[in-house]
Structure 1
Amino acid sequence: MGRWPKPAEGSWTEHYPGLGTEPISFEDSTSPEFFELEREAIFKRAWLNVGRVERLPRTGSYFTKEIQAAKTSVIIVRDTGGEVRAFHNICRHRGNKLVWNDLPREETSGMCRQFTCKYHGWRYGLDGQLKFIQQEGEFFDLDKQDFGLVPVHCDVWAGFIFINLAAEPEQSLRDFLGPMITGLDGYPFDRMTEWYEFTADNRSNWKIFADAFQEYYHVPALHPQQVPAEVRQPGAGFECAHFQIDGPHRMTSSGGARRWTLPPEYMYPIERVTRSGLVGPWESPELGEMPPGLNPGRIDPWGIDNFQIFPNLEILIYRGWYLLYRYWPTSHNTHRFEGMLCFQPATTVHERVEHEVAAVVFKDFALQDAGMLTGTQTALESGIVTASPLSDQEILVRHFHKVVADWVDDYRREPAEV
């Protein structure tokens, strides 16, 4: 799908006629059968972000990622040549999980020279090659070259590590991301290495939570403190400044007045005292010239860009810092949410306090969004409402669910084509 600026009059949706305007069904978020199809059609085929290169600072650095939607665990490691590699986290001998600490279902990280299976002591190099077999002479015509770790396709864009679980990805990572996302090439993500991380196990389908961040239609009702009083009046209207679609990916921009120009009732007292809060520190360090992909709608004053990379990654870029969301399905009606605030390292105590306040206020507002999840999920599962009308500014919700359906439909057609 192409990209279009919104004219002075008209709608966003009219520029994407393939999306339609009719009410849509959210059965894709309540059906166990559909979730099983998503596993195969999406999470075993799309490029998935599993972390950043800063987690692998030197040779032998590794971490594991549990991907329940694909029923697998993956090891991500930096090898002796400096390359980032990924392997299925399973020993080739008897199928034992290879890398784990006290609890095999929990993720772990560390540093090592090789990976050793706890069960029978088989050892693998950082390149995945099988290096040692306990009592090797007792095996029958076994060639170690044939029993290395099973590799996973792995690539890096802008410091973000992606994996693809398909036997052969249909697209390279860069082609998959497309011009809207790669338009951020050169953004200094690598300078923002002070991280505040949150995880939450939520009782809703993964798409239900992602939907909340694709529109700001809900803000006056759910987050009234974040909008001026005049916008909270019935019929006043509240809308993002720019929406954009590129292939399976989406983005939205919001305008943003500088915080110190806003009235006190617009924020928590701690925000005004510390000059930091939901949108981060009021005065962020200069980053230099920004890439052309940032603020593609050329909104002035600009506030936030939210780039939503299919299927489950969102990068929200603020002034001088960014926020990361990931939604990992664990069943048809549960998922694990990961949030990470990424700042340039504090150089003073005051800057450190600014970051901490931003993290706490973010968590408070995220809980407001999360508070809707179980209610939405259980109501949808009742089956009473089978079609939901969407407004023009909910275009990204409409697009997201259509892309999910398209990927599943493509997967369903494959056996017939073969």
Structure 2
Amino acid sequence: MARFPKPAEGSWTEHYPELGTGPVSYRDSIDPDFYELERRAVFQRAWLNVGRIEQLPRTGSYVTKELKVVNTSIILVRTRSGDVKAFHNICRHRGNKLVWNDMPLEETSGVCRQFTCKYHAWRYDLDGNLTFVQQEGEFFDLDKSRYGLVPVHCAVWEGFVFVNFAAEPEQTLREFLGPMITDLEGYPFEKMTSRFHYRSEVKANWKLYMDAFQEFYHAPVLHANQSPTAYSKAAAEAGFEAPHYRIEGPHRLVSTSGVRAWEMADEMRKPIEDICRSGLFGPWDTPDLGEMPPGLNPARCDPWGLDSFQLFPNFVMLFWGQGWYLTYHYWPTSVNTHVFEGTVYFPAPRTPRERIAQELAAVSFKEYGLQDANTLEATQSMVESRVLDDFVLCDQEVLIRHLHKETAAWVEDYRRSTAEVQA
């Protein structure tokens, strides 16, 4: 899909006629059969972000990731050559989970020289090669070179670790990301080492939560209680419209203008924000991060609020004009449940005041996220009632149209390709 600036008159949606302007169905968020197809058509074929290289700082560093949506657990490890590799977390002997601590279904991390199975002590080196078999002579013509760990396609872009579960990925990671995302290269991700992480189990389809963060039409209403009454009432009546939307391939972007919180009237700020010089938009003292990459702030807003890049299928990178960023992940666990992960990144604080400012921003954003999540179970339950089948969307909800249409296109492509193979 080509990129378009919005003209003085017109809409964003009209630039993407293939999306249509009619009501949108949410059957894809309540149909168990569609979910099973979605798992195979999308999550077993697309590149999925599973972490950052800072989680693997040295040789032998590893983390595990539980991915119920593809019915597996994986190990990410930093090898002796410095590469990052991924393997299915399964021993080749009897199928036991290879790396786990006290609770087999919980994720874990650590540092090791080799992986040793808890069941019969088979050992694997950091490259996944089988190196030791207990009582090897008891086996029949065992060729250890044939029984290494099962690899998962793995690639790194700007420090983000991606995996792909297809037998052979249809695109390289860079091809999958496309220019809109690769134009972010050069952002100082490596400087953002102050990290806050949230995780929540949500009783709603993963796409419904993604929809909540793909538009800001809801912001003046849903988040009204976060502002003084006089300000929130005026904001709700005025409404909000983001200045820029973009769709490219399977990915999406929405940008917003911003506010300089310290320039707002005193009655519009909370006392704690003045004390900590921080709030929802981040610490007021913007760090010097150097020149920003060309992909940021495409609308050239001044002041600039944020850019939210929605990477298909379930990964979001959200950059704030105040010099920090956050990521979201939405990991499906069933047709009407998923795990939400939010991670906030700041530059390393130099003083206790900078640390407190970061903590206030992280806590403020968590509160907003909880407000968004609070609507989801109610939405899921009523969509499942099937009282209504189609729902009207406004121009600001163009990215919602795209997510559901793109997901349906991947499912249809999978149906067609598997039918051809069976024929």
**TM superposition score normalised by structure 1:** 0.98
Which residue of 302, 305, 327 maps to 2:304? 302
Contact between 1:220 and 1:226, CA under 8 Å: does it hold in 2? Answer: no
1:330 is the counterpart of 2:296: no
Q: Is the 8 A contact 2:155 2:163 kept in 1?
A: yes
How far has the Cα of 1:391 moved from its partner?
0.3
**Residue from 357, 369, 372 that aligns with 2:375:** 372
Tell me the CA shift for residue 373 of structure 1. 0.9
Q: Distance in 2 between matches of 1:273 and 1:204?
A: 37
Distance of aligned partners of 1:374 and 1:229 in 2 relative to their CA distance in 1, 3 Å threshold: closer
**Partner in structure 1 of residue 148 of structure 2:** 148
Please point out which of 385, 388, 405 is paired with 1:385.
Answer: 388
2:420 is matched with which residue? Answer: 417
Instruction: Return the offset for 1:415.
Output: 2.3
- Aligned partners of 2:70, 2:186: CA distance in 1, in Å? 32
Partner AA of 1:372 in structure 2: T
- Contact kept? 1:231, 1:238, Cα under 8 Å: no
1:307 aligned counterpart, secondary structure: strand
Find the aligned partners of 2:160 and 2:417 in 1 and give their Cα distance. Answer: 31
For the pair 1:125 / 2:130, whether they are aligned, the reply is no
Query: What is the DSSP-based 3-state SS (H/G/I as helix, E as strand, rest coil) of the residue aligned with 2:411?
Result: helix
Match of 1:405, SS state, is helix
Deviation at 1:231, TM superposition (A): 4.6
User: What is the number of residues matched between the two proteins?
Assistant: 417
Distance in structure 1 (CA, Å) of the matches to 2:388 and 2:272: 41
- Take 1:126 and 1:196, find their aligned partners in 2: how far apart are those partners? 29
**Deviations 1:304-332, CA, capped at 9 Å, x for gaps:** 01011111111110121101110001111
Deviation at 1:169, TM superposition (A): 0.4
SS at match of 2:217: coil
Q: Which of residues 230, 253, 256 in structure 1 aligns to 2:255? A: 253
The letter for the 1-side match of 2:67 is I
CA 1:194/1:233 → structure 2, altered by over 3 Å: closer, same or farther?
closer
1:299, distance to aligned residue in structure 2 (A): 1.9
CA distance in 2, matches of 1:152, 1:330: 20
Please name the residue that 2:40 is paired with: 40
Post-superposition, which runs of at least 4 consecutive aligned residues in structure 1 deviate over 4 A?
226-231
Paired residues of 1:314 and 1:324 also in contact (CA < 8 A): yes
Aligned to 2:280: 278
3-state DSSP class of the match of 1:141? coil
Aligned to 2:137: 137
CA contact (8 A) 2:220 2:232 kept: no
2:315 is matched with 313
Counterparts of 1:351-362 in structure 2 under 5 Å? 351-362=354-365
Matched with 1:103 is 103
> Aligned equivalents of 1:206 and 1:264: distance in 2?
39
Secondary structure of the corresponding residue to residue 58 of structure 1: coil
Q: Deviations over 1:42-100 (max 9, x none)?
A: 11111000000001111000000000100000000000000000000000011000000
SS at match of 1:385: coil
Alignment-derived partner of residue 192 in structure 2: 192
Which residue in the other structure is 1:340 paired with?
Answer: 343
Deviation of the 1:258 alpha carbon: 0.9
1:216 alignment counterpart: 216
- Which residue identity does 1:284 align to in structure 2? T
What residue is the counterpart of 1:170 in the other structure?
170
Amino acid at match of 2:37: L
Residue 25 of structure 2 aligns to a residue whose secondary structure is coil
User: Residue type of the partner of 1:381?
Assistant: E
Cα distance in 2 for partners of 1:23, 1:400 equals: 14
Moved more, 27-36 or 170-179: 27-36
SS in 2 for 1:304: strand
Residues 221 and 236 in structure 2, CA contact (< 8 A), matched pair in contact too: no
Rate the CA distance shift 1:233–1:281 in 2: closer, same or farther, 3 A: closer
- Matched with 2:54 is 54
Decide whether aligned partners of structure 1 residues 264 and 405 sit closer, same or farther in structure 2, where only a CA change above 3 A counts: farther
CA distance in 1, matches of 2:234, 2:53: 42
Go from structure 1 to structure 2 and tell me whether the alpha carbon gap of 1:5 and 1:265 turns closer, same or farther (over 3 Å shift): same
| Worse-superposed segment, 295-304 or 96-105 | 295-304
Structure 1 residue identity aligned to 2:304 = W
**Gaps (5+ residues) in structure 1?**
none
Root-mean-square deviation (CA, aligned residues, Å) is 1.2
Task: State the AA in 2 paired with 1:332.
Answer: V
Secondary structure at the counterpart of residue 306 of structure 2 = strand
Q: Give me the whole-angstrom Cα distance separating, in 2, the residues matched to 1:346 and 1:114.
A: 35
State the TM-score, normalizing by the size of structure 2: 0.97
Aligned-residue offset at 1:280: 0.8
Specify the alignment match of 2:268 in structure 1. Answer: 266
Could you report, residue by residue, the CA deviation over 1:119-147 in whole angstroms, capped at 9, with x for unpaired residues?
A: 11100000000000111111111111100
* TM superposition shift of 1:232: 2.9
CA deviation after TM superposition for structure 1 residue 220, in Å: 1.2
CA distance 1:233–1:41, change in 2 (3 Å):
closer
Cα distance change on mapping 1:229 and 1:372 into 2, 3 Å: closer
